[in-house]
Amino acid sequence: MKPKNLKTKIFLDSGDPLETKKTLELLGFLDGQTTNPTLIAKNPEVSKRIKMGKKFTKKEIYAFYRKVIQEISRIIPQGSVSVEVYADFNTTSSEMLKEAREMFSWIPNAHIKLPITKEGLITAHQVVKEGMRVNMTLCFTQEQAAAVSLATRGSNRGNVFISPFIGRLDDMGKDGMSLISNILKSYKNDKNNKVEVLAASVRNLSHFLSSLSLECDIITAPFSVLSEWAEKGCPILTSPYIPQANLETIPFDNSPYLLTDWKQINIENELTRKGIERFCVDWKALIV
């Protein structure tokens, strides 16, 4: 059952509905699930088909994605399910908008994942006006977080998530948890902010427990991490987060980004670019 003192929403990071069922049985609750092209590529049905040398047409892979999303939605009808639009560096806002509208119609509890790029933010600015919910993904800086908050002003709390990627920053020798802490602090200082922070790229139980100790709004984690948490009795750390000595702490930036025009904020980041490239490669590998 859900711990009484748990303030953070717990999501599963997976493209497999069987893991959704297992997690729900294991924890006794599940607040949502995040998916992306890489996770869909790892779905057992997809893996089996690819191993047989049978790729999908574009129409078939979207139909499969929709089927998976709808199955997950049936399992956790009260939770959030993040569905990611395909976006490479040539994808325009109008193209993202068209796909976002289509995917949002798939289920009643969707959050549409958009990249934190110029075109992605333009799309987010529009879709929240239309009443859609979004999850802005591949966040690696406070500047990006500020731009998301400003671009989605007017939305209600719960309608906009931002996903900072912890593990990928760790891979670069930087403490990804310090970015989570910085964004939470900057959002707390802004009384008009409605964006919820979703800790992503959670690689291990330490990432998970540290995110809990920071009282992050949401954590999405793979089944292996959620299983380990359950095995230990679903502990919740209350002690302050202590930065890892072997990683470079990302300093808090006091610059008044939240007081500027989001279009003027520098959101360019190499890790965001690499993340988009990876998702595109994984998605295209499935299509004839």
Neighbours of 148 (CB within 10 A): 29
* Terminal Cα-to-Cα distance of the chain (whole angstroms): 44
What is the secondary structure of 128-185 as a DSSP string? HHTT--EEEEEE-SHHHHHHHHHHTTTPPTTSEEEEEBHHHHHHTTB-HHHHHHHHHH
% of the chain surpassing 70 pLDDT: 100
| Stretches in the chain below the pLDDT threshold 50 | none
Query: The dihedral of CA 20, 26, 30, 33: what is its sign?
Result: negative
**β-sheet bridge partners, residue 162:** 136, 197
- The backbone region for 230, taken as left when phi is positive above 0, alpha when psi lies in -120 to 50, beta otherwise, is alpha
* SS3 assignment, position 219: strand
pLDDT per residue as tens digits for the range 213-271: 999 999 999 999 999 999 999 999 777 777 777 899 999 998 867 778 999 999 999 99
Name the residue type at position 63.
Answer: A
CB atoms near residue 286 (< 10 Å): 21
Q: Which residues of 175-194 are buried (b: 16+ CB within 10 A; e: fewer)?
A: bbbbbbbbbbebbeeeeebb
Q: Is 113 a catalytic residue?
A: yes
pLDDT at 237: 77
What pLDDT score does 76 carry?
A: 98
Q: Scan for tokens 């599963």, then name that residue.
A: 12
Selected catalytic residue, list 58, 59, 98, 113: 113
Instruction: Give the fold, CATH level 3, of 9-284.
Output: TIM Barrel (3.20.20)
Who's near 127: CB < 8 A, 6+ residues apart? Answer: 97, 100, 101, 104, 112, 114, 134
Res 238: pLDDT: 72
The answer for residues whose C-beta is within 8 angstroms of residue 214's C-beta and 6 or more apart is 177, 180, 181, 184, 241
What pLDDT shows up at residue 33? 98
Q: The tokens of 58 are what?
A: 């574009």
Q: Note the pLDDT of residue 204.
A: 94
